Structure 1
Amino acid sequence: MVPVSVLCNIVESGFEPLACECTESGGLLRIEVYEPASGQVKLMIAGVSIEELTSVRAISDFIGELRAEMKAGRRAFAG
């Protein structure tokens, strides 16, 4: 199991050069990715369970999925 603080650090670094804030509450993550200069939100997703994010590989795969959704312009994930 990856500690939540480490999990959030990995998630936050996975979106550079964009800024990312990852917070946990009750076993669920809230992830917000935004342009650091303008503050424009590129992605906001809440209610992500940490149960499946138990390894660095699983976290990396999750970040890859979110980045692909962002690149494809999926508005369901955008703020």
Structure 2
Amino acid sequence: MVPISVLCNIVESGFMPLSCECTESGGLLQITVYEPSSRRIELLIRGVSTEHLDSVRAISDFIGELRTEISAGRRAFAG
């Protein structure tokens, strides 16, 4: 099991050049990814279970999935 503090550090560093805040409450994560200059939220996800985020590889795959979601959202709004 990866400690929550380490897990959040890995997640937060995985979205550059965007900023990311990862917080834990009751064993669940809230992840907010935003544009640092405008603070416009690109992704907000709550209630993320850490059950399957038990290795650096699993965390990396999760970050990749979230980055894909952000990219898909941008394309949807681009028309």
Same fold, TM exceeding 0.5?
yes
The percentage of aligned residue pairs carrying the same residue is: 76
Which of 1 and 2 has greater Rg?
A: 2
1:26, 1:42 → 2: CA distance?
24
Deviation at 1:39, TM superposition (A): 0.5
The code of the aligned residue for 1:38 comes to: S
1:27, 1:58 → 2: CA distance?
17
SS of the residue corresponding to residue 16 of structure 1 reads: coil
2:32, 2:72 → 1: CA distance?
17
* Aligned residue number for residue 16 of structure 1: 16
Mapping for residues 1-79 of structure 1, pairs under 5 Å: 1-73=1-73
* Larger proportion of helix: 2
1:25, 1:58 → 2: CA distance?
20
Structure 2 unaligned regions, length at least 5:
75-79
Deviations 1:6-57 (A, max 9, x none): 0000000000110000000111000000000000000000000001100000
SS of the residue corresponding to residue 12 of structure 1 reads: helix
2:8, 2:17 → 1: CA distance?
16
Count of residues paired in the alignment:
74
Give 4+ residue runs of structure 1 displaced > 2 Å after superposition: none
